[in-house]
Structure 1
Amino acid sequence: MNTNIANLFDLSGRVALVTGSSAGIGFALARGLGRAGSRVVLNGRQPDRVAGAARILRDEGSSVFEMPFDVTDSNAVRMATDRIEADIGPIDILINNAGMQRRGPLEEYPEETWHELMTTNVDSVFYVSQAVARKMIPRGRGKIINICSVQSELGRPSIAPYTATKGAVKMLTKGMAIDWGKHGLQVNGIGPGYFKTELNQALVDDEAFSEWLIGRTPSRRWGELEDLIGAAIFLASNASNFVNGQIIYVDGGVTASL
């Protein structure tokens, strides 16, 4: 067998939709897929933030399209999916990254906040994946990558509802792989550990927490967003054509250590 290794990871010409990609992890993954050759569709609720992110990536030479829509609105999701397929091209890669965190004591956690978290972190993955899978299945191919978390496996104080959502995303990923694998789709997840992002800046700046985390992490550091790109390209490319229903934890070893 003569396999060109570079071709295994080449995403040239493929259309990739990344939800929640105007900042943070989603933006980093969109940037990585763009550098690997994808035509990247950026998404977010705020058109101005999506446009700003798109300008940055275009200036770097990536082929980028803007598609602001609310991933928690199933009708908006279906309309956006149809528009991408008609105006940009068949969606080859979907990364479900949109999500949120709301901390608080579980015994006092507001019911409306629980539902907000579930809708944003779980319902959106179902809505977008289903809409995109309906396009992928007749073509007999497609890559879906769900952003899970180390909290898909581990708990921490004050985030029980978030942990519940990420556990659900992990199991939804496996269910998607089981139902859609026969149609040529690969559905996998990435479970980031603790990364330096805007959302985590307070934790990064907390000396006591940072010291605890670094001591708890076998790699002895915080994650940098670039650390996630390799796993995303692998799962989006032909290199992972027989990988299905798996969660790759990019966490510096946190889930391996007690």
Structure 2
Amino acid sequence: MGVVTFRRARTDEQRSQRRRQILDTAAAMLTEMPVAKLSLNELSRRVGLAKANVLRYFESREAVLLDLLDTEVQDWITELQQLPTAGDGTARERGDQLADILATSMARRPVLCDLLGAQGAVLERNISTEVGIRHKHAARQSLRTLVEFVLRHLPELGNDGAAALVESTLLMSMSAWQCSRPSTAMLAVYASDPELAAMRIDFTELVRRTTAVTAAGLLARRGHGENAVRPA
């Protein structure tokens, strides 16, 4: 698509639609390429606007991606909220179920994982304080909602324990995603030797295992053994 003649969006609705178009295009691009490969020039070309006109709506490439991250997190939370609550099993069983839900749901959302993995080193750079404040307020609300979701499954954790589990799961997923996306050279290394291939990281399994272990540890510190049943 070539660059089309720019028509200024004059109403709030038109500006919102233009921003949505830019975000949707960026999201589509991230299904084809990692965050590191997405350039403002290519985004502008695909949207059909000059780069200067894209910058009328977002102050930088990073601001686009940060806004997209907030949207992806909200979509993920919406999916989680529609899932049934863990049954009446022991705390250990419910913790394992919760770990599986979090790990598998994130693995189904590669764009979310890629954005999370780039958040600190890429997305939160080259932005204004205003954009950063808006993002952190959105992130704070998302964390609160995720804590509520965790407490549905493991009320024994309490607010502090649930917050700790959410934070550790997100931090692990950020690191695990990057480490589980080997380069072409590393893929060849793994293919050359089964013993080396065993070192390749499985994102879903790593996040599932570490989340389950963290949940068990937090429960133990609060005096709830793995055989504890859900409070009445």
TM-score, normalisation: structure 2: 0.32
- Of the two, which has the highest radius of gyration? 2
Higher relative contact order (CA 8 A, sep 6+): 2
TM-score, normalisation: structure 1: 0.29
Higher helix share: 2
Higher strand share: 1
